[in-house]
Homo-oligomer: A and B are copies of this chain.
Amino acid sequence: MIPKDARVSLDVEEIPKRWYNLAADVPGLEPPLNPVTGEPAKPEDFSQIFCKEIVRQEGSTRRFIDIPEEVRDNLIQLNRPSYLQRAYRLERALKTPAKIYFKREDGSPLGSHKGNTALAQAYYNAEDGIHTLTTETGAGQWGTALAMVSNMFDIDTTVFMVRGSYNQKPMRKTLMHMYGAKVYSSPSEYTEFGRRILKEHPDTSGSLGIAISEACELAVKDESTCYALGSVLNHVMLHQTVIGLEAQAQMEKAEIVPDVMIACAGGGSNFAGFTFPEIHRKIQGRSECDIVAVEPKAAPSLTQGEFRYDFGDTAGMTPLLMMYTLGHDFIPKGIHAGGLRYHGMSPLVSAAYEQGLCRAVSYDQPETFEAGVLFAKHEGIVPAPESNHAIKAAIDEALRCRATGEEKTIVFCLSGHGLVDLYGYDQYMEGTLPSSA
């Protein structure tokens, strides 16, 4: 009597065997440029900080790339395959004729999708003889994910956590410590760059740009140390496609044909992971699905940015990336959806958007929390503030269906849960959550 689409699961054997690489198919993808020469970046421009296979994948245009068996085995520990679930109660509450499904990246013990690429990166670095991975983290999700999976391959992790968050979010620091990572408040005394900044600006609350510079400095200096990035670049998008590939298998299994697919977009990894396999189908002429990226009004790179070359980081040290950007010196307002506070957008997502393969909408913080609370009340899951953006767009679509009577099938990605970051909900319930527009 339980409807077969109430929750669509896959066996562990059905974890995808290869990632999908949109770089093989999307037209108009421009290469990154070396910022000094202005020439297309060469593998050497990346190999100072990334291990060999990551550099290869970053530049690859092969359509499918095999997922190593050891990575697949370990995806189980991130609770893959994740469920595709139907939001019956939310549909009822909205009185919509639309069907709403959601892909559950909240089920990872890390609480979000970030582990999918962290795991692959840790594996390749271990294979390449790397002993230490360095990274930056803002709110802490990415640093937590990398710290956790590095353990699986006996790799040490050094995380530079933006000083403001380091002081305000001690629990994220605790999590990283539990997973065995070294965590430095950035700027730190541990790097030359950090010491310089501390001397010049002893009271700074830090920034992602500074933290990236510190992490990269260690990777450049030490042969057995590499850097790991949680979003934006092509190899990260690639690894995240396990989400969308699973979703495709699940939709096929339960005979679900999506009219709309929705995901939030900051640097773009959740959106890419969830939608690229469907965008592939669109390019092949096998799908007319409406694909929607949802941004915060605080960082509306697709909806209000320009498509041009810009630095990936704030300090202006990375190769130049062809992407939608608000300018690398744009500092987004503080919002609870810290994972969406990015000035640019993944070059692959940007290319797909430029080609009209997807569209974008943006929302203000309070309306996304309103949507998240409605979802939590009816579906029981407390969403991450980032995920609330996708939920808001899905609800709006469902309400349009109520107005028009269309029985659309809406599928969105629940990128993570919000249980470690409940403060935003507290503000929302107390009526003190600020606008971010």
Provide the residues of chain B in CB contact with A62, threshold 8 Å.
none
Inter-chain CA distance A323–B179, complex, in Å, is 40
**Cβ 8 A contact of A77, one of B11, B106, B380:** B380
Provide the residues of chain B in CB contact with A425, threshold 8 Å.
174-175, 178
Interface: A2 (CB within 8 A): yes
Shortest C-beta distance, A120 to chain B (Å), equals: 15
Provide the residues of chain B in CB contact with A83, threshold 8 Å.
79
Q: Contact: A174 with B422, CB < 8 Å?
A: yes
**Cβ 8 A contact of A382, one of B76, B89, B109, B377:** B109
Q: Contact: A422 with B171, CB < 8 Å?
A: yes
Q: Contact: A429 with B174, CB < 8 Å?
A: yes
Provide the residues of chain B in CB contact with A380, threshold 8 Å.
77-78, 109-110, 148-149, 151
| Chain A stretch 62-113: residues in CB contact (< 8 A) with chain B | 69, 72-73, 76-79, 83, 89, 106-107, 109-111
Q: Contact: B377 with A111, CB < 8 Å?
A: no
**Cβ 8 A contact of A419, one of B79, B373, B419:** B419
Closest to A13 in B: B2
| Chain A stretch 296-339: residues in CB contact (< 8 A) with chain B | none
Q: Contact: A76 with B109, CB < 8 Å?
A: no
Shortest C-beta distance, A167 to chain B (Å), equals: 14
Provide the residues of chain B in CB contact with A417, threshold 8 Å.
109
Q: Contact: B422 with A419, CB < 8 Å?
A: no
Q: Chain A: how many interface residues by the 8 Å CB criterion?
A: 50
Provide the residues of chain B in CB contact with A376, threshold 8 Å.
178-179
Q: Contact: B9 with A178, CB < 8 Å?
A: no
Known: A6-B76, A76-B6, A107-B107. A178 touches B12 (CB 8 A): no
Interface: A152 (CB within 8 A): yes
Q: Contact: B1 with A73, CB < 8 Å?
A: yes
Interface: A420 (CB within 8 A): yes
Inter-chain CA distance A376–B176, complex, in Å, is 11
Q: Contact: B2 with A178, CB < 8 Å?
A: no
Inter-chain CA distance A109–B104, complex, in Å, is 11
Inter-chain CA distance A177–B429, complex, in Å, is 7
Q: Contact: A178 with B429, CB < 8 Å?
A: yes
Q: Contact: B109 with A381, CB < 8 Å?
A: yes
Shortest C-beta distance, A154 to chain B (Å), equals: 11
Most buried by B among A1, A380, A382, A417: A380
Inter-chain CA distance A279–B72, complex, in Å, is 37
Q: Contact: A426 with B179, CB < 8 Å?
A: no
Closest to A419 in B: B419
Q: Contact: A426 with B109, CB < 8 Å?
A: no
How would residues 1 to 31 of chain A score, 1 for a CB under 8 Å from any chain B CB and 0 otherwise? 1100011010111000000000000000000
Interface: A42 (CB within 8 A): no
Known: A72-B2, A419-B419. A426 touches B174 (CB 8 A): yes
Closest to A83 in B: B79
Q: Contact: A377 with B179, CB < 8 Å?
A: yes
Q: Contact: A379 with B77, CB < 8 Å?
A: yes
Closest to A152 in B: B89
Q: Contact: A373 with B178, CB < 8 Å?
A: yes
Interface: A378 (CB within 8 A): yes
Shortest C-beta distance, A279 to chain B (Å), equals: 29
* Beyond A78-B380, A149-B380, A151-B378, 13 extra complex contacts between A and B, CB < 8 Å: A1-B69, A2-B12, A9-B9, A89-B152, A109-B381, A148-B380, A151-B377, A170-B426, A171-B423, A174-B426, A174-B429, A178-B376, A419-B420
A-B complex: 5 closest residue pairs judged by Cβ atoms? A171-B422, A109-B381, A174-B426, A109-B380, A419-B419
A sample of 14 cross-chain residue pairs with beta-carbon separation below 8 angstroms, ordered by A number, consists of A1-B69, A6-B12, A6-B76, A7-B12, A9-B9, A109-B380, A109-B417, A111-B419, A148-B380, A151-B380, A171-B423, A174-B426, A178-B376, A419-B419
